[in-house]
């Protein structure tokens, strides 16, 4: 059970030294209890108190790190069942399964999926290497997959083959997904020896629970739970029950991230796999393994993931600044809009389609849409003037034409007063009209 603020305060040094960034030890304790400050922020806790508090204040689902260097990812660490309660912490990752005979065919398709959306790189983070019985071929497959720089999942229940594979890829901190009720002791020993995360699976949820508990008794808590591939119904029920047991019942035996292999649940059915990947993105797959992934599938799945794994209490924003489009330079027309991410991507997409060189100026509007920002006073002639001074627009750009959103045409006169020498042009109300508008403006 989580400690209350007063319980945490009793274990603090009570010196009110402020080194943690809080005015008093009590204030620090209350923030730790709320989960907004890590207990390690206090530099004067005794080792015993730190160990006690770290265990008591840890999230009911353990945070697990996989991969290494730039390919390192965090799974788990969740504290709520529903994102509107607070927020989800660690976004799920997508993997594509490969085998020795299909790797060369699948890799180009995997590499095609690599783009940026709302400031985040979207790509296939993991490669799931499937063992098909040939140890030598499996080792070669793992070598090829490791050379891509992506984190690997080793789908292998043969300890001998798993050892050979780990010997060539352990530095990349893969997931060894192969522990079962029959082999868990040997697989856990192997995962511990190489310092990698161990995936655990079983025929049903009771056997899964017992196997995880047995591995924990061996001292290994660096785990992920594979919900199995018996049926869609069973896999979904297991994923939900594992998450509910950890977060609602505070049962730490199931307090681990989950792997879901939708490629096996709907083998050969691309549409069903996409639907299942969507389902388990929402509830509750930390790693979702697919048979294949096309660019079209990725656009839908990564868009969904990004919506699910953003804080619903914070607006999605892009950084204020100057964004040259279509080769825009100091002589190109300027266009301004707000920093709300959806507005930015809709508007910038249409502007790019026009082919006209321009500078898109994004000002700080609190992450609101155009009309909301205007109504809240976040988008005004004054805010635009302030942005121009802050980013030295007149010193960087020689062109003196500024296009403003059509929905705030009322600001045109006031902006002209505040920006003397600038020609203020009002754009269409809807983004869909921007292509035609700019081609006519540039004619």
| pLDDT for 362 beyond 90 | yes
| pLDDT for 373 beyond 80 | yes
Q: Between 1 and 80, whose confidence is greater?
A: 80
Query: Residue 65: what pLDDT?
Result: 96
CB 71 within 8 A of CB 151: yes
Between CA 136 and CA 116 the distance in angstroms is 37
CB 355 within 8 A of CB 326: yes
Q: Place 124 in a pLDDT band, splitting at 50, 70 and 90.
A: very high
The secondary structure of 314-378 as a DSSP string is: S--B---EEEEETT--TTSEEEEE--BHHHHHHHHHHHHHHT--EEEEE---TT--HHHHHHTTS
Q: Which residues contact 19 (CB under 8 A, 6 or more apart)?
A: 42, 43, 44
By residue count, the chain amounts to 443
Query: Residue 6: what pLDDT?
Result: 84
Strands 126-130 and 63-66: unpaired
Query: Residue 2: what pLDDT?
Result: 57
Q: Place 443 in a pLDDT band, splitting at 50, 70 and 90.
A: low
What is the sign, positive or negative, of the torsion defined by CA atoms of 164, 167, 172, 178? positive
CB 84 within 8 A of CB 73: no
Range name among 21-35, 149-163, 217-231, 331-345 with the lowest pLDDT average: 21-35
| pLDDT for 150 beyond 90 | yes
Q: Place 44 in a pLDDT band, splitting at 50, 70 and 90.
A: confident
Q: Between 53 and 297, whose confidence is greater?
A: 297
Express as a percent the part of the chain with pLDDT over 70: 98
Beta bridge partners of 337: 362
Q: Which residues contact 18 (CB under 8 A, 6 or more apart)?
A: none
Beta bridge partners of 151: 126
Beta bridge partners of 153: 128, 175
CB 286 within 8 A of CB 90: yes
The secondary structure of 5-54 as a DSSP string is: HHHHHHTS------TTSSSSHHHHHHHHHHTSS-GGG-TT--HHHHHHHH
Task: Kindly report, residue by residue over 89-105, the tens digit of the pLDDT.
Answer: 899 999 999 999 999 99
What average pLDDT score do residues 142-147 get?
Answer: 97
Q: How far is CA 348 from the centre of its chain?
A: 23
| pLDDT for 370 beyond 90 | yes
Q: How far is CA 394 from the centre of its chain?
A: 38
Range name among 204-213, 313-322, 361-370 with the lowest pLDDT average: 313-322
| pLDDT for 1 beyond 60 | no
What average pLDDT score do residues 31-45 get?
Answer: 82
Q: Between 40 and 193, whose confidence is greater?
A: 193
Q: Which residues contact 109 (CB under 8 A, 6 or more apart)?
A: 292, 293, 294
Q: Place 78 in a pLDDT band, splitting at 50, 70 and 90.
A: very high
| pLDDT for 30 beyond 80 | yes
| pLDDT for 111 beyond 80 | yes
Cα–Cα distances (Å) from 286 to 61, 216, 436, in that order, read: 12, 20, 44
Range name among 39-43, 50-54, 160-164, 232-236 with the lowest pLDDT average: 50-54
Query: Residue 189: what pLDDT?
Result: 97
Q: Which residues contact 268 (CB under 8 A, 6 or more apart)?
A: 291
Cα–Cα distances (Å) from 50 to 13, 54, 121, 123, 297, in that order, read: 11, 6, 36, 38, 45
Query: Residue 57: what pLDDT?
Result: 65
Token pair for 354: 């026009």
How many other CB atoms are there within 10 angstroms of residue 302's CB atom?
Answer: 22
Residue 97 phi, psi dihedral angles, 5° rounding: -80, 135
Express as a percent the part of the chain with pLDDT over 90: 76
Task: Kindly report, residue by residue over 56-73, the tens digit of the pLDDT.
Answer: 667 789 999 999 999 999
Between CA 155 and CA 290 the distance in angstroms is 13
| pLDDT for 36 beyond 80 | no
Query: Residue 55: what pLDDT?
Result: 66
Q: Which residues contact 71 (CB under 8 A, 6 or more apart)?
A: 125, 149, 150, 151, 172
Q: In 214-271, which ranges are E strands?
A: 223-226, 258-261
Q: Which residues contact 437 (CB under 8 A, 6 or more apart)?
A: 354, 427, 428
- Average pLDDT score over the chain: 92
Which domains does the chain show, CATH number per domain?
A: 5-57 (1.10.15.40), 63-308 (3.20.20.20), 321-441 (3.40.50.11600)
Between CA 253 and CA 214 the distance in angstroms is 10
């Amino acid at each position: 059970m989580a400690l209350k603020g007063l319980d945490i305060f009793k274990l603090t040094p009570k010196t009110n030294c402020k080194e943690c960034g809080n005015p008093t030890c009590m204030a620090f304790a209350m923030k730790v209890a709320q989960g907004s400050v890590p207990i390690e922020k206090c530099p004067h806790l005794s080792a015993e108190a730190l160990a006690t508090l770290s265990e008591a204040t840890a999230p009911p689902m353990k945070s697990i790190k996989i991969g290494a260097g730039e390919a390192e990812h965090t799974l788990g660490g969740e504290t709520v069942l529903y994102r509107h309660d607070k927020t989800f912490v660690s976004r799920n990752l997508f993997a594509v399964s490969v085998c020795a005979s299909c790797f060369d065919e699948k890799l180009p398709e995997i590499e095609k999926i690599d783009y940026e959306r709302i400031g985040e790189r979207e790509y296939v983070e993991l490669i799931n290497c499937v063992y098909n019985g040939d140890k030598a071929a499996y080792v070669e497959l793992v070598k090829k997959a490791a050379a891509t720089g992506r984190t690997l999942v080793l789908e292998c229940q043969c300890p001998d083959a798993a050892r050979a594979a780990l010997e060539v890829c352990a530095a990349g901190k893969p997931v060894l997904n192969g522990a079962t009720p029959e082999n868990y002791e040997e697989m856990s020993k192997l995962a511990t020896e190489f310092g990698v995360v161990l995936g655990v699976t079983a025929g049903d949820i009771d056997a899964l629970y017992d196997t995880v508990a047995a591995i924990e008794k061996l001292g290994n808590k660096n785990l992920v739970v594979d919900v199995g591939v018996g049926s869609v119904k069973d896999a979904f029920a297991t994923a939900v029950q594992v998450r509910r047991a950890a977060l609602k019942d505070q049962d730490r035996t199931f307090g681990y991230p989950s792997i879901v292999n939708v490629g096996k649940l709907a083998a050969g059915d691309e549409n069903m796999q996409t639907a299942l990947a969507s389902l388990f993105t929402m509830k509750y797959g930390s790693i979702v393994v697919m048979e294949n992934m096309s660019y079209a599938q990725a656009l839908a799945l990564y868009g969904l993931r990004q919506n699910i794994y953003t804080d619903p209490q914070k607006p999605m924003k892009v950084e204020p600044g100057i964004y040259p489009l279509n080769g825009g330079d100091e002589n190109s027309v300027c266009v301004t809009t707000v920093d709300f991410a959806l507005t930015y991507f809709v508007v910038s997409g249409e502007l790019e389609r026009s082919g006209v060189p321009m500078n898109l100026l994004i000002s700080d509007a609190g992450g609101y849409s155009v009309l909301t920002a205007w109504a809240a006073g976040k988008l005004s002639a004054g805010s635009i003037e302030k942005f121009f001074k802050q980013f030295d627009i007149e010193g960087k750009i020689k062109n003196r034409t500024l296009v403003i959103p059509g929905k705030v045409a009322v600001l045109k006169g006031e902006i002209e007063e505040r920006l003397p020498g600038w020609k203020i042009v009002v754009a269409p109300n809807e983004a869909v009209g921007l292509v035609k508008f700019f081609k006519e403006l540039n004619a």
